[in-house]
């Protein structure tokens, strides 16, 4: 049963991917690849957290068609992303640009890693045992 | 001393995290498009949906502060706001419609123009007609230039043809009073 389910969902996924690509056909494989990349990285402004490849909202379809047109005209990735940002703002692209407002998004993970390393290092250091005290303890044991 | 810090630091981190997450609970996750604000209307040449022979461009908006309302007869929320917009029109506020047709797929076609016209006439005679004219955005490409995500959306265009507000969602008494009217008044008085 489980296997059947997996098979079913795999089939559905493959089918839906094929359906989108059937609507927007390229002769150039590189453009096809760029189109796939862009529709997965551009965000549907009408939906809550969905890219335009996955969404069937009217505006997502319009954006997909626009991406198709622009890519067919030979526009590169930055040009298409800029075209969309100009109309829908930073929201439309899943990779936030590095600005003072988004700085924390980029810096926080690095900061936490550094903080973790510091804590780890200091803990190690404090665990080292004072050799004098060790000698004293050994002596005590031997005396018994 | 060290022990106090071991207590205080995690406490500060916890409080900060709580405040951050709590504010997230009450924030509006919907998209607000602010990039269009304070930008000149993108140039256009659009026909009146009722009289396709008549073409308009940006000069339509010059000389008075105008509301540009994106709508369609298929859109339920637009039908809800039509009576309120009609009230605004009766108060003397100029409103131009941008007709956003859902079923016209640029690749496949769809409804015919006479069909759309009769739907519009029917809807407006039933719920009120706030529009001076309705520009026909046939393939929704002008809407894309305006950053429209769907219908209804409303823009305030000032006397120089510059976008001063982009409101996503319906216009009702509350939204009008709190958000749109102050901006409208500000640019009328300018």
**Can you give the CATH number for the domain in which A80 is found?**
1.10.8.640
pLDDT reported for residue A137: 85
Nearest to A65 among B31, B35, B106 (CB): B106
CA distance B182 to B50: 32
CA distance B54 to B46: 8
Closest alpha carbon to A46 in A36, A28, A58, A34: A58
Choose one of A55, A74, A95: the last residue of a domain.
A95
Q: Which two tokens stand for residue B98?
A: 């941008």
Minimum mean pLDDT range among A63-72, A90-99, B53-62? A90-99
Neighboring chain A residues of B102 at a CB cutoff of 8 Å: 58
Range of the domain at A122: 97-144
CA distance A122 to A127: 9
B163 CB near a chain A CB, below 8 Å?
no
Contact call for residues B139 and B106 (beta carbons, < 8 A): yes
Contact call for residues B85 and B69 (beta carbons, < 8 A): yes
Cross-chain residue pair A45–B31, CB shorter than 8 Å: yes
On the question of pLDDT at B107 being above 70, the answer is no
Cross-chain residue pair B140–A62, CB shorter than 8 Å: yes
Choose one of A95, A115, A135: the last residue of a domain.
A95
Neighboring chain A residues of B31 at a CB cutoff of 8 Å: 45-46, 91
What radius of gyration, in Å, describes the C-alpha atoms of chain B? Answer: 22
Whether residue A79 sits in one domain with residue A121: no
Whether residue A4 sits in one domain with residue A20: yes
Whether residue A136 sits in one domain with residue A126: yes
Number of structural domains, chain A?
2
Supply the ipTM of this predicted assembly.
Answer: 0.82
Backbone angles phi, psi at B99, to 5 degrees: -80, 120
The residue of chain A nearest to residue B36, with distances taken between CA atoms, is A87
Instruction: With cut-offs at 50, 70 and 90, classify the pLDDT of residue B54.
Output: very high
Sign of the Cα pseudo-torsion (B151, B153, B158, B162, in order): negative
Choose one of A95, A110, A136: the last residue of a domain.
A95
Which bin fits A3, alpha (ψ -120 to 50), beta or left (φ > 0)?
A: alpha
Omega before B74 within 30 of 0, i.e. cis: no
Whether residue A91 sits in one domain with residue A103: no
How many Å lie between the alpha carbon of B106 and the closest alpha carbon of chain A? Answer: 9
Domains and CATH numbers, chain B: 37-189 (3.40.30.10)
């Amino acid at each position: 049963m489980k296997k059947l389910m997996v098979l079913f969902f795999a089939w559905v996924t493959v089918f839906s991917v094929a359906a989108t690509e059937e609507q927007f056909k390229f002769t150039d494989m590189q453009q096809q690849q760029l189109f796939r990349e862009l529709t997965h990285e551009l965000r549907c402004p009408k939906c809550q957290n969905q890219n335009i490849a996955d969404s069937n909202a009217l505006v997502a379809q319009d954006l997909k068609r626009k991406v198709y047109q622009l890519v067919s005209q030979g526009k590169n990735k930055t040009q298409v992303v800029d075209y969309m940002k100009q109309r829908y703002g930073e929201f439309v692209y899943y990779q936030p640009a590095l600005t003072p407002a988004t700085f924390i998004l980029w810096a926080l993970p690095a900061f936490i890693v550094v903080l973790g390393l510091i804590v780890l290092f200091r803990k190690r250091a404090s665990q080292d045992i004072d050799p004098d005290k060790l000698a004293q303890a050994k002596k005590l044991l031997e005396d018994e | 001393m060290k022990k106090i810090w071991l207590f205080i630091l995690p406490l500060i981190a916890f409080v900060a995290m709580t405040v951050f997450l709590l504010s997230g609970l009450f924030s509006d996750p919907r998209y607000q498009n602010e990039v269009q604000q304070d930008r000149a209307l993108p140039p256009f040449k659009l026909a009146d949906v009722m009289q396709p022979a008549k073409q308009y461009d940006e000069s339509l908006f010059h000389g008075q502060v105008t509301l540009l309302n994106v709508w369609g007869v298929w859109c339920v929320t637009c039908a809800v706001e039509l009576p309120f917009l009609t009230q605004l029109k009766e108060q003397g506020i100029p409103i131009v419609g941008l007709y956003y047709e859902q079923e016209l797929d640029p690749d496949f076609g769809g409804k015919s123009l006479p069909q759309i016209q009769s739907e519009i006439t029917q809807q407006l005679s039933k719920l009120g007609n706030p529009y001076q004219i309705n520009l026909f955005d046939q393939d929704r490409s002008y809407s894309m230039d305006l950053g429209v995500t769907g219908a209804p959306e409303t823009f305030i265009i000032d006397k120089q043809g510059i976008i001063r507000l982009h409101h996503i969602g319906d216009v009702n008494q509350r939204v009008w009073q709190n958000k749109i009217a102050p901006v409208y008044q500000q640019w009328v008085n300018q």
